[in-house]
Amino acid sequence: MLSLEDKTFDLFIGGEFTEAAGGQTAETTNPGTGEVIGHVAQAQPADVDEAVASAHATFEDEWGSMDPYKRGRALEDWAEILWDRRDRIAKVETTDQGKTLREAQADVAFAIKTIEYYAGLTDKVQGEEIPVPGSRLNFTRKEPLGVTGHVSPWNYPFQLAVRSLAPALAAGNTAVLKPASWTPLSSLALAETASQALPDGALNVVPGRGSLAGDRLVEHPDVRALSFTGSTDTGIQIGKKAMEKCVPATLELGGKCPNVVFEDAELDKATKGAIFAGYMNAGQMCWAGSRLLVQESIADDVVDNLAHALENTPVGPGTDEASQMGPLVSEQRKQEVKEYIEIAESEGLDLVTGGGEPDDVPEDGHYLEQTLFKDVPRDSQLAREEVFGPVVTVHTFEDEEEAVEIANDTEYGLYAYAYTSDMGRAMRLSEELEAGVVSINESPITFPQSPFGGHKESGIGHEQGKEAIEHYTKQKTVFFKQP
């Protein structure tokens, strides 16, 4: 089992750990302390080619044609192995990514449930019979595509890798995953456990630079479907490359999600929800409720309650049980978020709380305080761009119409939250909010069986749910006439 004591971490290809071509490595560090955890092999294009070849051979020889029932049982075995090792994997995630152990444990549990959910679907990937005239049979088949390529981000490394791999494997494909450079370790642990339940080569993991290893994976001619989770800019580039070789690409991209609180909401619940949606994972979430829209009549109370709660939330190393928020993933990310805060302050925006670095945290960790600005103009940079850190902006509205207008005033459309006890309004909002997911009176929430995907510039396609299987199959229409 991959261990944090190992200090060197190789690529995982064809069921075994292997050095990168030329022996190149890069450091991976603990964001909570700044300490070097170890060195990770950096896949070169030749390594990606080898991983794709291994996945292709396993698809052709075994996985692609396996009895779907047996494929499902293999996925269940994998989930069981992961369940036995869930605490160790969560520790790896916290050490490499920074999130609190509680958050990492929840991510790993969610990922295991995702594998279990898709394990149950392997023998339900089916076409349909179509009524056509004459004495002929017309039906559709859903066939696996072959090798699928997966590029994942650093905010939920384990959970989001599994989110796209599980339906791909369940549909009979094999896979190559390129994890984010800042957080490769949990993906390597994932591959190692997969090899104990699935055939060698079914899942290969090639850490390395996005612009090198990621690019080769995206462009590789034998990679027949792509799944990308990350920034909108990179996603658009990958989408164009997918089109050039005519393969489907699911793109799960950025967000600037509104969290709308009406005066008839249960305020305690709404405050807790705003904290959870704004600051979980240090706010490094595509689905962060980073724009808090509050009805004018309750705005002062909500802001006061929120500020009080944030000022009393301990920030510290993810491994420390008392910490309710961990560090940012890297010094670079911390500086980028700080710059947003500094610009906002120089523009005279009203800082309610936070904005600086917390006391009593390890000196070389990448910590920021939970930060709240109020009365933020809708056209300010802070209100429009995805900050991807522990920063929430408060905006006020007069009535429902204005709330919806502000909520939809963004190029993103990933997730929208609203708190109200008026069920008629809740129904209207579920139609009017421009987002791939709308949650009323709860934030944030998702399940493996619930489709997740963005509208507008937040993406194309869906992960999770039955729909995700569609992305990883090709449909064939068959006509059959008696001779």
Interface with ligand NAP by CB under 6 A: which residues? 151-155, 160, 178, 180-181, 209-211, 214-215, 218, 229-231, 234, 237-238, 252-255, 286, 386, 388, 414, 454, 458-459
CB of 243 to ligand NAP, least distance (A): 15
CA distance 177 to 158: 11
Task: Give whichever of 14 and 436 is closer to ligand NAP, judged by the CB atom.
Answer: 436
Task: Give whichever of 172 and 459 is closer to ligand NAP, judged by the CB atom.
Answer: 459
CB burial class (10 A; 0-12, 13-18, 19+) of residue 109? middle
SS3 302: helix
CB of 432 to ligand NAP, least distance (A): 21
CB of 252 to ligand NAP, least distance (A): 3
Q: Show the tokens assigned to 207.
A: 């850490």
CA distance 436 to 419: 18
Task: Give whichever of 160 and 198 is closer to ligand NAP, judged by the CB atom.
Answer: 160
Q: Looking at the DSSP assignment, which residues form a beta bridge with residue 471? A: none
Task: Give whichever of 141 and 209 is closer to ligand NAP, judged by the CB atom.
Answer: 209
CB of 137 to ligand NAP, least distance (A): 40
B/e letters for 466-477, b = 16+ CB within 10 Å, e = fewer, are eebbbbbbeeee
CA distance 77 to 94: 25
Known catalytic residues are: 252, 286
Phi, psi of 434 (to 5 degrees): -90, 90
CA distance 279 to 289: 9
Count of residues making up the chain:
483
Task: Give whichever of 443 and 458 is closer to ligand NAP, judged by the CB atom.
Answer: 458
CB of 179 to ligand NAP, least distance (A): 6
Tokens 């449930």 belong to residue? 113
Task: Give whichever of 33 and 181 is closer to ligand NAP, judged by the CB atom.
Answer: 181
Q: Looking at the DSSP assignment, which residues form a beta bridge with residue 228? A: 151, 251
CA distance 30 to 86: 19
CB of 456 to ligand NAP, least distance (A): 12
Q: Are 411 and 385 in contact (CB under 8 A)?
A: no
Q: Are strands 249-252 and 174-178 parallel, antiparallel or unpaired?
A: unpaired
